[in-house]
Structures are given as structure tokens and as C-alpha cells.
Amino acid sequence: MSEPYDPASTPSIEVRVFRHGELIERHLCESDEEAAVLVEQWSEVDDVNCFVDDLSFHHRVGDVLEPEPAEPADEDYPHEPAVEPEV
């Protein structure tokens, strides 16, 4: 049986490595330190750019709250009566 999903245990940092604008490597890391080691290793390679993205800030399904319906008018403050046109 598989273990229950635990978002805290999933890798939350992505390191993408590009050479001449083309993605050549993608790594998922569990810590800032692990990502820093990868970036340091790749920084010694010529013509390579690394991008680090913190995936924990991205919204997942269910993270964004749905808007709630408007509350009914308070009985103490009823809607203003319509102004009748002057004759």
C-alpha cells in the first residue's frame, strides 16, 4: 500500500539548467543547500545558465479559495427606497 501524500516531504525547489537557451537538465531538490550545490557545480561549465524556482509558492488545486456568495442585506439597514421622480 502506498503512503499518504505529504506535501512537506516532496521536493519543493527546481533547478533548471540551460545551454544556449535550451533546457538540458532539470533537478528537483528538497533543500536550498542541495540546490546551491547543483548551481555551484553547473557554474563551472561554460555557456550554462541556471534558474532556481521555489515550487512551494505555486498554488495547487484547492489552494485558492473560491469566492463566497454575497451576504444578504442586513435587516437593520434595508436598501434605500427608490426616489420617485418629481412632478
Residue 64's pLDDT is what? 63
Q: What are the extents of the domains in the chain? A: 11-57
pTM for the structure as a whole: 0.56
CA distance 18 to 40: 14
Residue located via cell numbers 521536493: 11
d(CA 9, CA 5): 8
Average pLDDT of the residues of the chain: 78
- Tens digits of per-residue pLDDT, 29-52? 988 999 999 999 999 999 999 999
Continuous H helices in 2-60: 32-42
Arithmetic mean of pLDDT, 22-29: 94
